[in-house]
Every structure is written in C-alpha cells, then in structure tokens.
Amino acid sequence: MLPLATISWLDPEYLLSAFGPWAVLGVCLLVFAETGLLIGFLFPGDTLLIITGILAATNPGALGLPIWLIAIFIGIAAFAGGELGYLIGHKIGPRIFERKESGLFSKANVNRTNAFFERFGPLAVIIARFVPVVRTFAPIMAGVGHMSYRRYSLYNGIGAVLWGFGVTMLGFGIGHIPPVADFVSSYIDLILLGAVLATLIPVAIHYFHGVHTAKKHEADDTTPDAEVDAAAVESAPVDSPTGQTPTQA
C-alpha cells in the first residue's frame, strides 16, 4: 500500500494491525465516528471496510469472527452514527447556522438543504453513505433541515445496511479474487485520494460561492437604507432666513 502522506492512522491496514484482537470493535468505533461526529470525515471509511473484508477472506482467523457477523456489527455502527449525527444537527445545528452568514454555515444553505432533503430525502440519505466527507455531514444537515426523524431513520437504516454491510461484503468478495485483491490493496490510497478530491472540489466551489452570495446579500441589505436616508435629506424642508419656509415666502 502506498503511504498516505506519512499519516499512519489514515492507513486501514495499520489501524487493523494496531487494534489487534479488538480490530472489529475498533472498526465499528471508527465507522460510528465517521458517520456521527463532525471530525469523522478524517477517517478512511470506505477503504477500512474493504480492507476488513479482504483480510477476513485472506486470513479468516485474523479478526476472530465470521464475516457475516463482522458486517452486521459494522452496519449497526453505521446506523447508530447516522442517528447521532441527525440528533446533533437537530439540537445544536440551528445555533451554528443562526450566526452571521458565512460560506457553508448560512441560513440560505439551511433552507436549501431543507428543500433538498424534502425533495430527495430517501435518495440523498442513502447515496450520501457512499460519498466520502458527505456521509459525515449529511446526517447533521438532515437534522438541521428538520427532516422527519422517522423518515430519516428508515432510510438511514437502509443506507447503513447497503454501505456498512454491503461494502464489507464487497471487500470479502474481492479477497477471493487474488489479482483484484492485490491491486486494490496496492492502490487503495490512490483510490481514496481520488474519491476525496472528487468530493472536496465541489464542496470548495460551493463554499466560495456561498461566501460571495452572503457578501452580496449584505451589500444589498445596506444599500436601500442608505438610499432612503439620502432621499429623506433631499426632501426635508429648508427654513428661510426669516423663519418661513420657501412656500410661505
């Protein structure tokens, strides 16, 4: 595997080795954090699940549990993380977005997110699971946008099964195809880097567009007040030296 910027804790194989006999628990905790906490976007979720599946296939005794049970635990962790993310967004998110508008954290984005989840809610919640970074913020944004909790939980569960259980089983299947397993294991860092860049570039564009829009709105809000003040000054009557207005003279 290629070194990921010399940051060992971003290397899935290093993480699995470091967890030792607690590898399955460690994977579940990382999956929970990635989908439930704002700092979770730093963790290598997809690659960790794939490598876990490959390891379970190539070295069945390494993780101490059968693959189907490992995949179920990971799916449960993903679901629980998504639920926590929603609750954080619902309870704390509005306080953040009620502050001065800037970039991603703006009232306009709250309204836009609310409309997005109302229109594409089921599809958005499920697809977000398969997009790095987005899967961390999607549950929080669903909570901020006050998406129906029951509706969110239903599709959060579907997404957790498809991603947590499905991707792990995909890795297990890849592990039974030696050439493919070797290729994925060797270039997983590049695959991850490409996926992250593909996600971050649109996010960066959206951020700077949000900053520009917020500044434009601030300028538009102050301009009418200035024009009203100027008009009031121009229309105010001017007293003549004799104390009479121009119409009385």
Per residue in 147-190, pLDDT tens?
889 989 999 999 999 999 999 999 899 888 877 777 766 766 66
Tokens of residue 128, six digits: 């977000």
Give the pTM.
0.65
Q: Tell me, what's the pLDDT at 249?
A: 45
- State the virtual CA torsion across 36, 42, 45, 50 in degrees, nearest 10: -170
Residue 81 burial (CB count, 10 A): 28
Question: What's the mean per-residue pLDDT of the chain?
Answer: 73
DSSP string for 156-196? HHHHHIIIIIHHHHHHHHHHTSHHHHHHHHHHHHHHHHHHH
Average pLDDT value for residue range 196-207 = 61
Checking if the pLDDT of 61 tops 70, the result is yes
How far is residue 166's CA from residue 220's CA, in Å, rounded to a whole number? 49
Size of the chain, expressed as the number of residues it contains: 249
Measured from the Cβ of residue 108, the count of other Cβ atoms closer than 10 Å reads 13
Q: CA torsion angle for 22, 23, 27, 33 (degrees, to 10)? A: 40
Separation CA 88–CA 1 (nearest Å): 36
pLDDT at 9 over 50: no
Least confident of 11-20, 58-67, 97-106: 97-106
Rounded Cα distance between 62 and 56, Å, is: 7
What is the pLDDT, as a whole number, of residue 227?
A: 53
